[in-house]
Structure 1
């Protein structure tokens, strides 16, 4: 009869996620995973499978959580235009956090050419993000803050590319003042100035 698990699965997955996030997939060893999880090899493999299976599970959990936060942030703003501006400014608001980059983008950069499953996951992730942002663009159009003739999907892709670019620039060590100026410049060019500004 199998023994019940005596560890917190979410805590283990978060610790493993941070290890992959900080070191990357290739540089993370089984010993690293055992150290951060507090589990032995047998327990780790029995619960989560091998290193690649564990990585894919962490990546999936990471993207699901990010999409949940994105939905909440976009829906929670009083006006959609404010939410879209917030999306651009998010990397500036947490420069220390964005120094790590985006786990999905980091993983696609590291593994995309060698691992079709990771590349497909990245594609699905960015398509979902684009759809969520596109819905917010359409809401801003209905609210009269964006031109009705604008293509919501095209603008959503541009906003996502701008946001991810800022995350990358933050990761290079760019100072907060420069990041802030860059974010404001992007917002000015991609989104109209509201009457209250």
Structure 2
């Protein structure tokens, strides 16, 4: 008769996720995973499979949490345009900006050699794009962005800009420069409400 599990699966996934996030996939050993999870090799593999399977579970957990946080951040502000501008400032406000994004880090490390990671990254970024696109469409309905713009195209540009800021933050770029860069990107990608209104008005 199998013994019941005596550990919190979510807590273990969070612990190993942090390990992979801090050290990367290749540099994380089985001993590291046993140490942070508090589980022996047999228990760890019985519950989650081998290192690769455990990493994929941790990566899925990360993207699920990221999408939930993104959706909340995009829907909380009264106006969608404010939410989109906050999206560009998110990497600057991160508690540990040099840690970067686990999905981006993992794709850079493993994307060329691991089709499962690459496929997951593609699906994850597509979902992020869709969530941002919904917010762009709301900003258009609120009259804050030009109505003729393609919401998905704008969303991809915003996501690319945000990920670029994440990368720049990892290099140790100072917060003042990052903030100025984020505001410059916002000015280009998210024009001021008055400018948007003028664009939407008929020419004289």
What's the TM-score bracket when you normalise by the shorter of the two chains? over 0.9
How big is the alpha-carbon RMSD for the aligned residues of Structure 1 and Structure 2? 0.9
- 1:97 is displaced (CA, Å) by 2.1
Q: State the match for 2:172 in structure 1.
A: 173
Q: State the match for 1:16 in structure 2.
A: 16
Q: State the match for 2:189 in structure 1.
A: 190
Aligned residues: 194
Asked if residue 162 in structure 1 is aligned to residue 128 in structure 2, the reply is no
Give the secondary-structure state (helix, strand or coil) at the position aligned to 2:158.
Answer: helix
Q: State the match for 1:132 in structure 2.
A: 131
- State the Cα deviation string for residues 135-168 of structure 1 (Å, max 9, x = none): 1000000000000001111100000001000010
- Distance (Å, rounded) in 2 between the aligned partners of 1:166 and 1:58: 24
Which residues of 2 match residues 38-187 of structure 1 at below 5 A? 38-94=38-94, 96-187=95-186
Whether contact under 8 Å (2:15, 2:36) holds in the other structure is yes
- Distance (Å, rounded) in 2 between the aligned partners of 1:183 and 1:122: 24
- Distance (Å, rounded) in 2 between the aligned partners of 1:111 and 1:31: 21
Q: Which residues of structure 2 form unaligned runs of 5+?
A: 195-204
- 1:18 is displaced (CA, Å) by 0.4
Structure of larger gyration radius: 2
Whether contact under 8 Å (2:145, 2:193) holds in the other structure is no
Whether contact under 8 Å (2:97, 2:170) holds in the other structure is yes
TM-score under structure 2 normalisation? 0.93
- Distance (Å, rounded) in 1 between the aligned partners of 2:93 and 2:107: 24
Q: Which residues of structure 1 form unaligned runs of 5+?
A: none
- Distance (Å, rounded) in 1 between the aligned partners of 2:9 and 2:41: 15
Whether contact under 8 Å (2:145, 2:191) holds in the other structure is yes
Whether contact under 8 Å (2:89, 2:182) holds in the other structure is yes
- State the Cα deviation string for residues 28-67 of structure 1 (Å, max 9, x = none): 0101100111110000001111000000001011101100
Give the secondary-structure state (helix, strand or coil) at the position aligned to 2:99.
Answer: coil
- Distance (Å, rounded) in 2 between the aligned partners of 1:92 and 1:32: 30
- Distance (Å, rounded) in 1 between the aligned partners of 2:23 and 2:115: 21
Shift >6 Å, 4+ stretches: none
- 1:98 is displaced (CA, Å) by 2.2
